[in-house]
């Protein structure tokens, strides 16, 4: 349909300007060039080595959290021991699953996960703490502090990843959601 000036003012002309068009031929050619890169294509928006380093620090953080929760679950004593120990045991299992999920993503990115015990604590975002034997309140506070640190660092990682690596971002968002649940559980147990 034309207006009085003779220009074509149809929806088709506007639609063609805003259309999403894929150059599938070019994409196929580029995909064939670097088959050994696996899922990392030329549209990957970040420095892969940096993402690998960040994820290896996440693995270290999660393993250290698993170690802390496991130790606390075993060494907890007192009247509330059963409830607190059960919560620590549940959190420990989830922390190890987080480490495995981050390690699997590292493998997808073409890297080996770094589980080196000699460097876990130095690469972890959190400390490995051992409060006095059986001090449930100190254990709860140590774990809540660790969860709060993890929440903050993982939020930063999610922001940094943005739209450049949606797969890793979704992984980190999923882990972050569970870490927030852990902090909520610990807050309830502390009664704060």
Nearest-angstrom CA–CA distance, 143 and 139: 6
What is the mean predicted confidence (pLDDT) over 44-71?
94
Helix ranges restricted to H, the chain: 11-18, 24-33, 48-75, 81-108, 120-123, 136-161, 166-190
CA-only gyration radius of the chain, Å: 24
The fold of the 46-190 domain, in CATH, is Ferritin (1.20.1260)
pLDDT at residue 187 is higher than 50: yes
Task: Say what the pTM is.
Answer: 0.80
pLDDT of 10-56, one tens digit each? Answer: 444 444 566 777 777 776 777 677 666 667 666 567 789 999 999 99
Given a contact cutoff of 8 angstroms between Cβ atoms, the answer to whether 31 and 71 are in contact is no
Given a contact cutoff of 8 angstroms between Cβ atoms, the answer to whether 130 and 143 are in contact is no
What is the mean predicted confidence (pLDDT) over 96-110?
97
pLDDT at residue 3 is higher than 60: no
Q: Is 160 helix (H, G, I), strand (E, B) or coil?
A: helix
pLDDT of 109-166, one tens digit each? Answer: 999 999 999 999 999 999 998 888 778 999 999 999 999 999 999 999 999 999 999 9
Q: Who wins on pLDDT, 61 or 19?
A: 61
CA distances from 125 to 4, 101, 148 (A): 67, 17, 11
Tell me, what's the pLDDT at 181?
A: 98
Q: Is 58 helix (H, G, I), strand (E, B) or coil?
A: helix
Domain-wise residue ranges, the chain = 46-190
Given a contact cutoff of 8 angstroms between Cβ atoms, the answer to whether 139 and 91 are in contact is no
């Amino acid at each position: 349909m034309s207006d009085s000036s003779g220009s074509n003012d149809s929806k088709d002309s506007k639609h063609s300007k805003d259309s999403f068009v894929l150059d599938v031929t070019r994409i196929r050619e580029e995909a064939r060039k670097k088959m050994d890169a696996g899922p990392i294509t030329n549209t990957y928006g970040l420095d892969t080595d940096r993402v690998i380093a960040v994820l290896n620090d996440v693995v270290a953080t999660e393993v250290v959290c698993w170690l802390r929760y496991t130790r606390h679950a075993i060494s907890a004593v007192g009247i509330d021991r059963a409830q607190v120990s059960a919560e620590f045991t549940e959190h420990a299992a989830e922390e190890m699953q987080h480490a495995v999920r981050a390690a699997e993503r590292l493998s997808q990115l073409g890297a080996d996960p770094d589980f080196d015990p000699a460097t876990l604590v130095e690469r972890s975002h959190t400390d490995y703490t051992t409060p006095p034997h059986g001090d449930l309140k100190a254990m709860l506070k140590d774990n809540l502090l660790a969860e709060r640190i993890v929440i903050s660092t993982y939020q930063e990682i999610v922001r940094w990843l943005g739209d450049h690596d949606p797969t890793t971002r979704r992984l980190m968002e999923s882990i972050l959601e569970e870490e927030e649940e852990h902090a909520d559980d610990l807050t309830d147990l502390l009664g704060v």
